[in-house]
């Protein structure tokens, strides 16, 4: 049966196609279709979320020369990308596998299985690959983890599989909460992941490891709360920023110390540490 989905159509000047495409990928696009040039403009069509408001929130403020419109369409075309999906190798130990592909490891020790739904990416974008690798490298046994803008929940799941005792996964989209809960069950870690649509400013706890794989304007807007929720001695992994344009993000996250930067295909992943001394967990 054909299922209606909500298409987002972003029309931009031809010189902005690359930047606009990057915004759509980071907002959760699983595939993008470029539709012809008209008067020096190109329209990029994709699926971001089930409702228009969530799509707008995920995209953030747009340049005045860009136009965003929405329309209903069937999922036959919008989900054709699934036929071309492949296992994503994050590092020698970790891979991400689309849930509908054959259950055969490509050589990694650990496989995380992800069903993205129609509204979220699979994990093959450079920022997700970088963040997933950071989750694998940085997670310590018994860490408390927060995943801000969790999407499919892939980063929270990787952290828990790696040994984190608990992960809170938050997103503005209800579809993200549902996808995260579904993927947590799929990977048998649902008892250690708490997905919700709780806004970041309502999160009162602090965490040993915080992920924020979201666009730079949102990172800046959330900066004070992101700094607040990183426990003394804890780390923040922030991605969704361009490799050659993220100084404003680092400035906004003042109070944390930038300790590492990794780059993939023009995108960057920033690792920060809270320089306040970490408490002795054994004495608490």
Tell me the mean pLDDT in the region 24-37. Answer: 75
pLDDT of residue 81: 61
Tell me the mean pLDDT in the region 269-276. Answer: 96
Give residue-wise pLDDT tens across range 128-169.
Answer: 999 999 999 999 999 999 999 998 999 999 999 999 999 999
Eight-state DSSP code of residue 277: P
Q: What is the DSSP string of 233-264?
A: EEEEEEEEEETTB-HHHHHHTTTSEEEEEEEE
Give residue-wise pLDDT tens across range 218-228.
Answer: 899 899 999 99
Give residue-wise pLDDT tens across range 202-245.
Answer: 999 999 999 999 878 889 989 999 999 999 999 999 998 888 88
Give the helix/strand (H/E) hosting 267: strand 267-273
Residue 6 has pLDDT above 60, yes or no: yes
pLDDT of residue 106: 63
Asked if residues 112 and 187 have their Cβ atoms less than 8 Å apart, the reply is yes
Give residue-wise pLDDT tens across range 43-75.
Answer: 988 888 778 888 898 888 999 999 999 988 755
SS3 9: strand
User: The domain 124-283: what is its CATH number?
Assistant: 3.40.50.150
**For the chain, what are the domain ranges?**
4-80, 124-283
Whole-angstrom CA distances from 29 to 94, 138, 146, 197, 232 are 23, 27, 23, 20, 35
Going along 24-149, which residue ranges are E strands? 33-38, 41-47, 67-74, 88-89, 94-98, 110-114, 144-148
44, exposed or middle or buried, with CB in 10 Å at 0-12, 13-18, 19+? buried
Residue 11, strand partner residues: 43, 67
Eight-state DSSP code of residue 1: -
Q: Mean pLDDT over all residues of the chain?
A: 87
> Rounded CA gap, 280 and 241, in Å?
34
pLDDT of residue 105: 61
Asked if residues 41 and 110 have their Cβ atoms less than 8 Å apart, the reply is no
pLDDT of residue 265: 85
pLDDT above 90 as % of the chain: 54
pLDDT of residue 29: 76
Residue 77 has pLDDT above 70, yes or no: no
> Rounded CA gap, 173 and 116, in Å?
13
- Indicate the fold that domain 4-80 takes in CATH: Alpha-Beta Plaits (3.30.70)
- Joined together, the tokens standing for residue 121 give 């990416």
- Joined together, the tokens standing for residue 105 give 């490891």
Tell me the mean pLDDT in the region 33-38. Answer: 76
Q: What's the pTM value of the predicted model, to 2 decimals?
A: 0.78
Tell me the mean pLDDT in the region 23-38. Answer: 76
Residue 4 has pLDDT above 90, yes or no: no
Q: What are phi and psi of 167, to 5 degrees?
A: -135, 130
């Amino acid at each position: 049966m054909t299922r209606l989905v909500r298409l987002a159509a972003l029309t931009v000047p031809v010189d902005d196609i690359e930047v606009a495409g990057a915004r759509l990928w980071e907002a959760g696009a699983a595939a993008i279709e470029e539709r012809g040039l008209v008067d020096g403009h190109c329209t990029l069509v994709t699926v971001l979320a089930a409702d228009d408001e969530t799509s707008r929130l995920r995209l953030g403020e747009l340049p005045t020369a860009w136009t965003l419109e929405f329309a209903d369409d069937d999922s036959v075309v919008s989900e054709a990308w699934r036929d071309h999906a492949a296992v994503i190798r994050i590092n020698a130990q970790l891979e991400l596998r689309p849930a509908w592909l054959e259950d055969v490891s490509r050589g990694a020790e650990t496989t995380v299985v992800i069903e993205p739904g129609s509204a979220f990416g699979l994990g093959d974008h450079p920022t997700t690959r970088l963040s997933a690798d950071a989750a694998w490298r940085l997670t310590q046994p018994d860490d408390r983890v927060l995943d801000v803008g969790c999407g499919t929940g892939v980063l929270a799941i990787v952290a828990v599989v790696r040994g984190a005792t608990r992960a809170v996964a938050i997103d503005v989209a209800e579809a993200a909460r549902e996808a995260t809960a579904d993927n947590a069950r799929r990977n048998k870690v649902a008892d250690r992941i708490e997905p919700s649509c709780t806004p970041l400013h309502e999160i009162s706890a602090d965490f040993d490891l915080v992920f924020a794989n979201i666009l730079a304007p949102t990172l800046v807007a959330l900066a004070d709360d992101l700094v607040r929720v990183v426990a003394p001695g804890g780390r923040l992994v922030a991605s969704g920023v361009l490799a050659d344009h993220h100084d404003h993000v680092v400035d906004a996250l003042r109070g944390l110390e930038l300790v590492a930067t990794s780059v993939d295909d023009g995108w960057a992943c920033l690792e920060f540490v809270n320089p306040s001394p970490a408490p002795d967990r054994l004495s608490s």
